A and B are shown apart, each in its own frame.
Chain A
Amino acid sequence: MSDLNTTPLHALHGELGAKMTPFAGYDMPLQYPAGVLKEHLHCRSQAGLFDVSHMGQVILRTPSGDAADAALALESLVPVDLLGLKPGRQRYGLFTNDAGGIEDDLMIANRGDHLFLVVNAACKDADIARLRARLDGLCSVEPVTDRALIALQGPGAEAALLDLTTACRDMRFMDVTTVDSDFGPLWVSRSGYTGEDGYEISVAADRAEAFARALLEDPAVAPIGLGARDSLRLEAGLCLYGADLDPTTTPVEAALTWAIQKARRTGGAREGGFPGADVILRQMAEGPARLRVGLLPEGRAPMRAGTEIFAAPDDDTPIGTVTSGAYGPWIEAPMSMAYLATHATEPGTVVFGAVRGKRLPATVTALPFRPAQFKR
C-alpha cells in the first residue's frame, strides 16, 4: 500500500467505511458499506458523491492569453472541433495515434483565457508527455496537482450543490464556470460520467474534505465507490478507457464519430490534421469492419469482459468479444458492451456468448441501456 498515491479525500473514505482498492496507482474506494447495488440505485434516484481526484487535471495556456490559440494547437492531437468550442463550454474528446487508435479519452473545457483538460488517471503521465512534445513552443502544459476533483451526480445533485452555492443553477449540460464559495474558487462543469444530471467540481486540495463533508450533510447525497461508478457508466453506454477503448481501437469502431465534429471531417473547414486522420476519415467513409454495440443477454447470467461472441450457437469462429459486462442494477438485467463484426450489429440481431462452456443468446441493442438524464 505504501507506494500507492492517495487523494485529498483519503481519510474521509476511511471514516465512511470504504473498502479500498488500488486503481491506476491510487488507493481508491471500491465501495462503501451500502454496497455496489445500493450505491448505484442511490445515484440514479437521489445523488452520489464520487472522488475522482485521481484523474489528471491539466491547463493549456498560450502567451496570447486567448484560449482559441490553445484550441488550435490542441486540434493537432484530437479530432475535435475546438475552435468551435465557446468560452464556458466543454466537449468530450479523444487523443488518437498515427494508426487511428485511441490513446485516451478526455474532457476539454474552454475557460476563456485557457483550456482545462480532465484525463484518465492511468494515462495522465503519457498524456502530459504527449501534450508537451506536440505543443512545445505553442502552449504551456500545466498539470494541476493541488486540486481535488469531485463528481456530484444524480437527480438530487442540483439541489445539493445549490445549498452551497447558487451560482450553478442556470448551467446546462457541458457548461463550465468558476464560482466563489466558502471552499474557495470552485471550477464547476455540469457533466459527469453516469448518465445523470450533475456536476464535476475541481476544488483546492486543502478545502476538498470540508467541501465533500458539506455535500454529504445533505441526506440525499451518499458516497459512491468505483464499483458503482463502473456499473453506472456502463448502463449509460459510456466507454471505459482500457476496457472499451485502447490504442488498437479507432473512434469509428468505437461508435464515437459524434465526437468528431463536421469541421474536422472530410470536406470540413479544418479537415484531418490529427494523428491517424487518414485511417479514421477513410473508415468514416467506407465503414469499419467492427463496431461497438450494446448486448442484452437473455436470462440473468452476465457476459463479462473477454466473453467471445458467435453468430450461431455452433459456430467455431467468433464474430466479436465483450469489452465490458456486468449486471445493470437500474435496468435489472445483465448488460454488456461488445465489438462485433459490422454485419451483426443491427439492433435486434441475436448473437451467442460463450459463458462457462455454453452458448447463451444475447440481443444486440442500441446504447445507452438507460437514457441520459442530462439538463440540456
Chain B
Amino acid sequence: MIVGLAFPETALIGLLFAAIQFGAMIYLASLGELIAERAGVLNLGVEGMMAMGAVGGFVFAIETGSPWLGLLAASIVGALVAMIHGLFAVVLGANQVVSGLALTIFGVGLANFWGTDYEGLRPDVQFVDVDLGPLSDIAWIGRIFFQQSPLAYLALALGCVAWFGLNRTRGGLALRAAGESAATADTAGHSVVGLRLFAVAIGGALAALGGAYLSLSISPGWTVGVVAGRGWIAVALVIFGAWKVRRVALGAFLFGLAMALPSRTESFDLPWHPILWSMLPYLLTIAVMIAGALILRNRPADAPAALGVPFRREER
C-alpha cells in the first residue's frame, strides 16, 4: 500500500522509540500511583496532578530558562497538589474515590487557569534528546535506546529507586505494611497517616514529572488538554502491573506501543482504518480491567489489602 514510502525498518525504529518515550512518560505517573496504592491510598487525581505538573514545569522552565528547574518545580507542585488528597483522604478519612475525582477536576481546572498566559507560547525552553556519541550512533539500538529525552533515563532510574526502596528497605516495608494492614503497621509503631501522606506526596511528584515530560519534552509547550486522559491510563496500568514496579514498567512499554502504533499503521500496512487502531490504549485498559476482575475471582488479590480503606485508630 505504501509503495516505496517506508523502509519498514525506519518505521519500526520510530515505533520503538516512540513507545519508549510514551511508555516512560506514563511510567512516571504510574510509579507514583503505585507507591500511593502500596501505602493503601487510591488516588484518582493522577490526571489533575499531571496537568499541574505539565503547566508548572513549563511555567517555571520559561521563567527560569532552565528545563531542569522547571522539572524540579513541577515535582514540588505535584506533591503540594497531592496534599489536597492527603488532607481529605488520609488525614480526614474521606472517601478516596470522591476525593481523588475531585482532585482530577480541580487539578485540570487550576492548571488551565494557571496556564492562561502561557497558552500556546513558543517553547523556547525544553529538554533536548541526549547524544551519547558512539552509543547513539549504533544502528537500531542507538536511536531507540540512546537518543531519548533525559527524562526517559530519569524514569528508569526512579523505577530502580522505587523498586529498591519498596522491597529492600525498612521504610519500604513500613509503607507496604500501611497498605496491607494499617493496624499492624500502627501497632509496630509506625505512623500510618505519616507514611500514607509521604506516599501520596511522592505519588503527586511523580505524576507531575509525567506531566512535565509532556510539556517539556514530548510536545513542548503548554496547551489546555495536553494530558488528554493519559492520567487514567496510568491508573489502569498499576492494576495491569499487579502493583509491582517491574511489571508496571513492562505494561508502560506495552501501552506506549499502543499509543505509538496508530500513527504508523500505514507504514506497516496494517488492516483497518488507523482510527480503529487509535482506540488500542483504551481497549487495552478495558481488557485489563476485565481480565483483572476474572482473575481476582479465583485467587487472592494482588491489590494491597487495605487499599482504599481509611485508617482511624479508634475504629480498629
A binds B: no
B residues neighboring A (CB under 8 Å):
none
Q: Which residues of A contact B (CB under 8 A)?
A: none
